[in-house]
Amino acid sequence: MTRALATSLLSASLLGCASAPVQLETERTYQVEWIGERPLIDRSHLTITFGEDGRAYGNAGCNHWFARYKLAGQQLDFDTAGSTRKICAPALMEQEARFLDSLGKVQRWDVSPIEQLRLWPAEGKPLRLWPEQG
């Protein structure tokens, strides 16, 4: 096989593997894995679903939360989040408060090299999320 043919076949096979870039999708639920520099408490379940109507909602670990969001390209911001008022263990309540506070600081989003959704504040580490399987 000639070098030119081998290069051509390699290029064609690589192009065939290319997929569309990962995007932030509406009507998809994402599972939070990290809030800034801290992972979630074991077995806690925090989620974000981006509605097509500009409303986001999910589970904050103890309570359900909701907020309006604005998405323009890579820019993303949330209005102040509201939530239900259930009381849970102090550690879960502290994590929930950090999560809801973090949402209000988000300014942009991107996707990491391992295809994890990241929601970035102006300063500090991002919220890191995975699409829920289901």
Residue 8 lies in a domain: no
Instruction: Give me the pLDDT at residue 3, please.
Output: 47
User: What is the domain range of residue 41?
Assistant: 24-131
Residue 49 lies in a domain: yes
The pTM for the full model equals 0.81
Residue 55 lies in a domain: yes
Share of the chain above pLDDT 70, in %: 83
d(CA 123, CA 134): 33
Instruction: Give me the pLDDT at residue 86, please.
Output: 97
Number of domains in the chain: 1
**Could you tell me which of 115, 112, 109, 92 has the C-alpha nearest to residue 46?**
92
Residue with tokens 């239900």: 84
pLDDT bucket at 6, cuts 50 / 70 / 90: very low
> 55: domain CATH number?
2.40.128.270
Backbone phi and psi for residue 81, each to the nearest 5 degrees, phi listed first: -80, 145
